[in-house]
Amino acid sequence: MIARVAVVLACVAVLVALTRTEHAHRDCDRARSDLYLVAYRVLPPAREDPALDTIRTRCRGTDGLIDAASVLLKQGRWAAATSFALGATRREPDSPAAWYAVAVSARTGNPALARSAAARAARLNPLQKPPAATPTKARRTTTKKTRAPRRSSRSARGPQPRA
């Protein structure tokens, strides 16, 4: 009898643990989605900070932190992006993607950190192309517009007989 009660209690404990994990996973996915929707101006900016807090506290692994760093980089928030990327390296120190995110996000604010992170990412994954040492600026190329020579009406109709 006692063994059956112990088995039932163990099953209930496993069920509770799995339910909590599922809720955390769902919260993480919702926060990541909200973050992208705020970035694309579908949701109001007031939803960004709660989404970032949820990603930082509820998401397991590094994917959520790297996604948040990517969105923050696109917004030009280098320091916040570096903070999230460094959080990813603390969770998974052997993740080349996390070190790559640090290298990209720290280029502007902390070039030394960017170089060391790029070197670490290259050591962890030698097949991955290292990020550029400095951010590339978009250059506008101006080209002189040339028009194709106009065809005369005579040449458009084909050769004309000589009179």
Segment 105-115, tens digit of pLDDT: 999 889 999 99
Same domain? For 49 and 106 the reply is no
Same domain? For 49 and 69 the reply is no
Same domain? For 51 and 81 the reply is no
Please count the structural domains in the chain.
Answer: 2
- Over the range 18-40, which residues count as b (16 or more CB within 10 Å of their CB) and which as e? eeeeeeeeeebeebbebbbebbe
162 domain-assigned = no
For 57, counting Cβ atoms within 10 Å of its Cβ (0-12 exposed, 13-18 middle, 19+ buried), the class is exposed
Same domain? For 49 and 91 the reply is no
**Residue 100: enclosing H or E segment and its boundaries?**
helix 96-105
Which of residues 148 and 27 earns the better pLDDT score?
A: 27
Last residue in a domain, options 12, 45, 60:
60
Same domain? For 109 and 75 the reply is yes
Residue 105's domain comprises 62-134
For 140, counting Cβ atoms within 10 Å of its Cβ (0-12 exposed, 13-18 middle, 19+ buried), the class is exposed
Give dist(CA 77, CA 68) in Å, integer.
11
77 domain-assigned = yes
53 domain-assigned = yes
Task: Show Cβ contacts of residue 124 under 8 Å, excluding neighbours closer than 6 positions.
Answer: 94, 95, 96, 99
Residues 66/97, Cβ–Cβ less than 8 Å? yes
98 domain-assigned = yes
Query: What's the mean pLDDT when you consider all of the chain?
Result: 82
142 domain-assigned = no
Same domain? For 74 and 124 the reply is yes
| Chain Cα centroid distance, residue 30 | 16
What mean pLDDT comes out for the span 54-70? 93
What is the band of 160 on the pLDDT scale with cuts at 50, 70, 90?
Answer: low
123 domain-assigned = yes
Segment 8-48, tens digit of pLDDT: 777 677 766 666 666 677 889 999 999 989 988 899 999 99
* pLDDT greater than 90 at residue 140: no
The pTM assigned to this predicted structure is 0.69
Which of residues 147 and 162 earns the better pLDDT score?
A: 162
> CATH number for the domain including 124?
1.25.40.10
124 domain-assigned = yes
Residues 62/88, Cβ–Cβ less than 8 Å? yes
Same domain? For 121 and 69 the reply is yes
* Least confident piece of the model among 1-10, 50-59, 95-104, 130-139: 130-139
Residue 19 is predicted with a pLDDT of 62
Last residue in a domain, options 60, 87, 107:
60
DSSP at 76: T
Same domain? For 84 and 55 the reply is no
Which of residues 137 and 41 earns the better pLDDT score?
A: 41
Segment 92-128, tens digit of pLDDT: 999 999 999 999 999 988 999 999 999 999 999 988 8
